[in-house]
């Protein structure tokens, strides 16, 4: 079904407020989830609300955290979220990183001891909207077999990048270091759809098209994706003194416990590296030249990174956001959660 974006945000915010979040923190959660749904990344949108609501209600997200923000150098800082909701604290940390980069040219800000923060594209877009270049990366559940391995060690460990242009459009690139994000498998399950046989493996380590038989994901491009997910784990986990690799807690292991996840934002101010206006104009030219490239067979045109999501967002702004009926019915109900996630096998139905 189709839902107006304002209505969807209200439903999502109200649900996590009823679960126990403050209005301020709940607004940030709903905003990040709405961003994902608007851009067609439904795996990180409304379908996640019930999980968050259950974890909040059971005490696995600190609703009144003792947050500490420490400047550790002219261009570096760490925000300790004390088990608080990831969406809000990652957003605050990016705001601080933007301030530092405006003053000093570069900012590297870590977030430690937070919960899941949703789509990373939201946070790099914050910086791009302020005419900054940004990278963001974070840890996730160990559910990926390392290249050559037969059991999971790392998470999907995503990376996002954004760069602004002179037109107000941003290049935005957000990827899991696996062939596909776990949320995409969940989305396929929610719609009872099959998945490509390149996404995941079953209990025997064999490729599967059945999202309900998935027992591990695989790195993108084999050893290259494996190396990238290790890099993310080092920069957003080990660097911040947090659990790493297979020590990273599962989303479902115990919903009464804080997750202690890490995230790292890197923000670069183009003004400190050359002419800022020239930079913006050159990004615009890059986007234009990419679109002028002769398309390959089977393609209508070449799109710059983030453009398919921009196109989807424009359509959803006009027509309403497409939401699975069952998810909408949950959001509109009086139920806070259905006890579906605690101690759940992450690969179970």
What's the pLDDT tens digit per position in 148-173? 887 889 999 999 999 999 999 999 99
What CATH number corresponds to the domain at position 123? 3.30.1370.60
Nearest to 261 by CA among 49, 20, 82: 82
> Mean pLDDT score of the chain, rounded to an integer?
95
* Residue span of the structural domain in which 57 resides: 2-276+307-332
111 contact partners, CB below 8 Å, separation of at least 6: 78, 79, 81, 86, 89, 90, 93, 117, 240, 262, 263, 264, 265
What's the pLDDT at 134? Answer: 98
175-184, 219-228, 279-288, 318-327, range with the lowest pLDDT: 175-184
Asked if the structure places residue 44 within a domain, the reply is yes
- Reading the block at residue 71, the tokens are 């400047």
Question: Helix, strand, or coil here: 42?
Answer: helix
For residue 180, pLDDT beyond 90: no
Sign of CA dihedral 12, 18, 21, 25: positive
Question: Helix, strand, or coil here: 172?
Answer: strand
Q: Give residue 73's pLDDT band: very low, low, confident or very high (50, 70, 90).
A: very high
As a whole number of angstroms, the distance between CA 78 and CA 304 comes to 33
Asked if the structure places residue 292 within a domain, the reply is no
Asked if the structure places residue 226 within a domain, the reply is yes
For residues 235 and 344, the model is more confident at: 235
For residues 215 and 126, the model is more confident at: 126
Phi first, then psi: what are they for 120, rounded to 5°?
Answer: -65, -25
Q: Which of 116, 187, 265, 337 is catalytic?
A: 116
Asked if the structure places residue 34 within a domain, the reply is yes
As a whole number of angstroms, the distance between CA 260 and CA 263 comes to 10
For residues 57 and 187, the model is more confident at: 57
Q: Give residue 348's pLDDT band: very low, low, confident or very high (50, 70, 90).
A: low
Q: What is the mean pLDDT of residues 41-61?
A: 96
What's the pLDDT tens digit per position in 235-268? 999 999 999 999 999 999 899 999 999 999 999 9
- Reading the block at residue 170, the tokens are 């941003």
As a whole number of angstroms, the distance between CA 172 and CA 44 comes to 16
Helix (H) or strand (E) holding 227: helix 223-236
- From residue 316, alpha-carbon distances to 7, 14, 34, 105, 321 in Å are 13, 22, 11, 36, 5
Asked if the structure places residue 338 within a domain, the reply is no
What's the pLDDT tens digit per position in 100-145? 999 999 999 999 999 999 999 999 999 999 999 999 999 998 999 9
For residue 349, pLDDT beyond 60: no
Active site residue 42: no
Asked if the structure places residue 341 within a domain, the reply is no
What's the pLDDT tens digit per position in 9-43? 999 999 999 999 999 999 999 999 999 999 999 98
Q: Give residue 202's pLDDT band: very low, low, confident or very high (50, 70, 90).
A: confident
348 burial (CB, 10 Å; 0-12 / 13-18 / 19+) is exposed
For residue 92, pLDDT beyond 90: yes
What's the pLDDT at 129? Answer: 98
Domain count, the chain: 1
Asked if the structure places residue 56 within a domain, the reply is yes
Q: What is the DSSP letter of 250?
A: P
pTM summary value: 0.94
How many degrees, rounded to 5, is the angle at CA 201 between CA 197 and CA 204?
130
Contact by Cβ (8 Å): 85, 61 = yes
What percent of the residues of the chain are helix, what percent strand, and what percent coil, each to the nearest 5?
40, 15, 40
Nearest to 119 by CA among 48, 190, 33: 33
147-151, 223-227, 291-295, 333-337, range with the lowest pLDDT: 147-151
% of the chain surpassing 70 pLDDT: 99
Asked if the structure places residue 118 within a domain, the reply is yes
What's the pLDDT tens digit per position in 260-309? 999 999 999 999 999 999 999 999 999 999 999 999 999 999 999 999 99
């Amino acid at each position: 079904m189709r839902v107006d974006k304002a209505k969807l945000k209200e439903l999502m915010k109200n649900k996590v407020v009823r679960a126990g979040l403050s209005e301020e923190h709940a607004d940030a959660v709903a905003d990040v989830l709405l961003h994902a749904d608007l851009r067609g990344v439904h795996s990180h949108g409304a379908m996640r609300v019930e999980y968050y609501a259950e974890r909040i209600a059971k005490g696995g997200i600190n609703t009144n955290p003792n947050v500490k923000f420490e400047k550790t150098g002219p261009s570096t800082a760490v925000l300790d979220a004390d088990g608080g909701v990831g969406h809000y604290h990652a957003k605050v940390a990016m705001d601080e990183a933007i301030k530092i980069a405006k003053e000093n040219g570069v900012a590297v800000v870590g977030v430690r001891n937070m919960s899941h923060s949703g789509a990373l594209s939201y946070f790099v877009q914050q910086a791009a909207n302020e005419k900054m270049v940004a990278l963001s990366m974070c840890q996730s559940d160990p559910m990926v077999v390392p290249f050559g391995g037969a059991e999971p060690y790392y998470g999907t460990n995503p990376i996002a990048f954004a760069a602004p242009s002179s037109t107000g459009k941003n290049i935005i690139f957000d990827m899991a270091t696996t062939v596909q994000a776990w949320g995409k498998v969940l989305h396929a399950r929610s719609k009872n759809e099959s998945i490509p046989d390149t996404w995941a493996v079953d209990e025997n380590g064999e490729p599967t098209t059945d999202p309900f038989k998935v027992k591990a994901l695989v790195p993108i491009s084999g050893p290259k994706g494996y190396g990238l997910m290790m890099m993310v784990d080092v920069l957003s986990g080990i660097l911040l003194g947090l659990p790493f690799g297979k020590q990273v807690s599962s989303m479902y292991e115990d919903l009464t416990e804080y997750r202690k996840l890490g995230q790292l934002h890197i923000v670069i101010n183009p003004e400190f590296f050359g002419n800022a206006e020239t930079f913006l104009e050159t990004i615009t030219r890059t986007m234009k030249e990419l679109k002028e490239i002769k398309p390959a067979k089977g393609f209508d045109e070449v799109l710059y990174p983030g453009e398919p999501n921009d196109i989807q967002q424009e359509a959803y702004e006009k027509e309403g956001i497409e939401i699975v009926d069952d998810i909408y019915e949950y959001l509109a109900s009086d139920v806070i959660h259905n006890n579906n996630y605690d101690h759940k096998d992450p690969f179970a139905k």
